[in-house]
Amino acid sequence: MGGCWSAGHDGASVRGDPADGTVGSMPLGRNQPLKPESPKWKSDVPLTDGQLRSKRDEFWETAPAYEGRKEIWDALKGAALAMESGDHTLAQAIIDGANITCPNGMLTDCYDELGNRYVLPVYCLSQPVNMVEDESESDLGQDEPLPVGGVETTIKLRLSTGKDVKMTVRSTETVHQVKKRLNTQTGVEPMRQRWFFSGKLLTDKTKIEEVKIPKGYVVQVIVSEANPPPVDG
């Protein structure tokens, strides 16, 4: 009654049952504000950005089949995107607006006002520390033609490291081309940059003019950790 089956991190199902005022071992009504930091984790098999996106898309497309309420799954997806783009305030507002309870201050385990439990896999919330670059992505840009035409514009990039960078770009440049120039300025490799605008991930092939960034608005750049050095023996 009022329970909900959800997929756990390993694909197992979990169930909440608020029959006696509790969900599992967690009392209803206990809530914590979202923690601002993203969970850190390591994938068993190193993932490329494309593979990570595919895993996320598959989860969000199938999550409502676990009997949860679709509007809550939609809210959780919006909050997860906001958190990864660095907008903690928006994520908290989405959670509060949907009356979602997070007993541990994390989106990995939360409940709606009916006591239904929703479990999000960690890969929907942050990148693994051992991300690898897809060969097709690493080659992207090497043979890209220099931007022709278009107009110059200034964009403001806010890195998750706490640094703001203003760059003059051409509207015909791709995100990947600007990532390479940002690398020259900051030392952050393109494969470690994930660009978000209005909660949407910008792909490398996207042209600046396609994003339609209003003057004064900020593009969020999530910087992932560098791959750890290999361990000998």
List the domain boundaries for the chain.
Answer: 4-124, 135-223
Measured between alpha carbons, how far is residue 230 from residues 115, 138, 224 in Å?
44, 20, 17
CATH classification code of 135-223 = 3.10.20.90
- Give the number of other Cβ atoms within 10 Å of residue 195's Cβ: 22
**DSSP letter, residue 117:** E
pLDDT of residue 83: 87
Q: How many CA atoms lie within 13 A of 194 on its CB side?
A: 24
- pLDDT confidence of residue 146: 55
What tokens were used for 150? 């278009």
- Residue 63 near residue 134 (C-beta atoms within 8 A): no
Taking a C-beta distance cutoff of 8 angstroms, is the pair 180, 167 a contact? Answer: no
Tens place of pLDDT per residue across the chain (233 aa): 333 433 333 333 333 333 333 434 444 457 899 998 888 889 888 888 878 888 888 898 888 776 789 999 999 999 998 888 888 899 999 999 999 999 999 999 999 999 999 999 999 998 888 888 765 444 444 555 555 567 888 999 999 888 999 999 989 999 999 999 999 999 999 988 989 988 788 888 899 999 988 888 999 998 887 654 444 43
pLDDT of residue 224: 81
DSSP H helices in 63-165 = 70-84, 88-97, 135-139
The pLDDT score that the predictor gives to residue 149 is 67
Strand-pairing partners, residue 5, are 15
Q: Which CATH class is domain 4-124?
A: mainly alpha
**Model pTM?**
0.56
Say if residues 207 and 231 touch (Cβ distance below 8 Å). no
Cα 150–chain centre separation: 30
Question: How confident is the model at residue 135, as a pLDDT?
Answer: 52
Assign 153 to helix, strand or coil.
strand
